Amino acid sequence: MPQNIDSNFDALVVVYADTEVERMQNCNMLREFAYETLVAQYEKMTEKELIEYVADEGDEDIIEQIYGNYPPQETEGDYTLKRGESIVI
């Protein structure tokens, strides 16, 4: 009889987990939570890291949609102007 109890318990675990997942799929709050979590994670990456991550996941088309055929290249000696600075040529 213990095997039957285990089988019932296993069935309860599987069925209830499936029920909870179904509830989550219909829940806009879960989508919003996932979106905010992913945005926070991606914002911690550098541009190069995120581009490599997206490409590794097989979504190169997203990179192409945003950057065209020229994704940013890493260059040595990059300098960003500070507020109030200008370039005189």
pLDDT digits (tens, 9 = 90+) for 5-27: 567 778 888 888 888 777 776 67
pLDDT digits (tens, 9 = 90+) for 49-78: 998 999 999 998 998 888 887 767 766 666
pLDDT at 78: 65
Domain boundaries, the chain: 2-67
Residues 57 and 45: beta-carbon distance below 8 Å = no
Four-point Cα dihedral 40, 41, 45, 47, nearest 10: -70
pLDDT at 33: 76
Distance CA 66, CA 51 (A): 11
pTM above 0.85, yes or no: no
